Amino acid sequence: MAEETEYCEEADIESATKVGMISLGCAKNLVDAEIMLGALVKSGHLITNDPEEADVVIVNTCSFIDAAQEESVETILEVDAIRDAQKRGQGLVVSGCLPQRFRDDLPTLMPEVDAFMGIDQVEEVGSIVDKALVRRSERLEAEIAHGAEAGSTAEDDSSLEEDNQEEGDVPSQLAKLIEENRVAKPSLDVERRPVYVPDYETPRFRLTPQHFAYVKIAEGCNHPCTFCIIPRMRGLHRSRLEADIVAEVRQLIADGVKEINLISQDSTYYGLDLRPNHRPNIASPDRFQEAAIEAAESGSTLSSLLRSLNALEGDFWVRILYTHPAHWTDELIETIRDCDKVANYVDIPLQHIHPMMLERMRRETSKEYIVDLLKRIRKGVPGIAIRTTFIVGFPGEQPAYFEDLLSFIEETRFERLGVFTYSKEDGTLAGKMESQITDEEKQQRRERAMAVQLTISRELASSQVGQEMKVLTEGLADEEALAGAEVRSWEHGLMRDGCDDDGTALTGLYTIARGEADAPDIDGRIYIQGEVPASEFVNVRIVGHTDYDLIAELVE
């Protein structure tokens, strides 16, 4: 994507529409937000961090699980309440996965929103914002006219109480006006099956710190997992061209970025859809291996992309996120081993290990396959950190199946691990399954699994004391960071349960850093004693640890 645009381009600052953005959910959603902001700047809009200044506020939503949906809806209602109290002419646009998933229902359920937009419309956001602002003005005029009309007949109207709703009851007023055809429903710019994928020329206004960036290498997903709604929301897998990604990364490195995080719904599937006569039904390991061999001879794969990025000049590392266990190859393992700029870190959401659960989840892998894959990865790349996530409380998860998962966690000793409780989602096969498990039981299982991982995490952290490592600095730690604030991500589960044995937090001056084993926002941190310049690679010696974090001193 094109390098960051100026804050306002070709615009009269006094008359330009000011737009605020609230982005929820995963890193993939964050990239969509960055593209929308880039498109807004290009079209002459101003970006503001102050919602009171904004003429229009965009809420970029997540709809991955119930909790994410609830957060999205609560945020929308909160923005509406604030504007009703402080700036009634402010437009409200809702983008992202929520309108993509509930395309047909939201205009009726949330009439207070002025415009809904989907994934395919991110580059059209400028015109959608302008329409939302006009629509908001028309709605306010209609409300005023309706209120005057209701007031003129108040003395003789026995339904006065019904017409004169309390001030601020905007959704009810709008719903009535929409029903009476006095006001149109919120505009809806959402394609049912998204096909959009960004490229290097796409304007982008980066929201991440200077030292790291997310690079979306593909969009969509071809997997049939029974618990997941993402293919319906995001469409089929579609990869960017390798040369296009390399061009973007080259520009990011020139801009001072030190860490490139490759993201997509399934990064290991990258490039397979670019083959001639591609068929999407190659998700199983056997079919994928055959297709990957064919693709490697004449096209792009994740391995070829990593080797191209590794050949770029500069001091940086590349991190791979969101890989699927069914799509690992020996070539990929060798590539990670051979490429010194590729971090010794992989993210492989396994979801479960018991054969019955893997079958019910349609994960296309067996327990034997997963155990063998992890052995091959650790043997092929010594010292690699493996991150995974599991789902507990899935329909039909018998106590014995859960105990099998606990044993697997204890035996495998993942360097990084998160646990979800199963979220029943409408529109998924799992949502229709019998043998649903109570929320209380789900939570108990999650707590037990995280307790096992907490012990493992402490032991792994303790084993690193005395070692030296290269880390990337992020800045001084504030009180919240020193207190070990919880880090949440809807796609990775809660990572930081528990606290230090003595219940105390770090005190004093520390600089936050991350090593190769620590992805932004979801993994542990390294606290370097003293103040060290941000956005730099430095060498440190580990001198202590907390439950999930390491304490270090600078090695001169």
Residue 179 confidence (pLDDT): 58
- pLDDT (tens digit per residue) in 331-389: 999 999 999 999 999 999 999 999 999 999 999 999 999 999 999 999 999 999 999 99
Question: What is the rounded distance in angstroms from the CA atom of residue 521 to the CA atom of residue 514?
Answer: 10
Reading the block at residue 200, the tokens are 């290097």
The tokens describing 33, both together, are 């937000």
How far is 330 from 335, CA to CA, in rounded Å? 9
- pTM of the entire predicted model: 0.86
Give CA–CA dist 474/513, Å, rounded.
Answer: 5
Site of tokens 């047909």: 104
Least confident of 102-106, 203-207, 478-482: 478-482
Structure-block tokens of residue 457: 């995490």
Q: Which residues pair with 319 in a beta bridge?
A: 261
Mean of the per-residue pLDDT values for the chain? Answer: 85
**What are the tokens at 152?**
């003129």
Residues, the chain = 556
How are the residues of the chain apportioned to helix, strand and coil, as percentages rounded to the nearest 5? Answer: 40, 20, 45
pLDDT tens digit string along 490-501?
A: 333 333 443 444
Sign of CA dihedral 530, 531, 534, 537: negative
User: pLDDT digits over 448-465, tens only?
Assistant: 999 999 999 999 999 999
Alpha carbon distance 529, 54 (integer Å)? 40
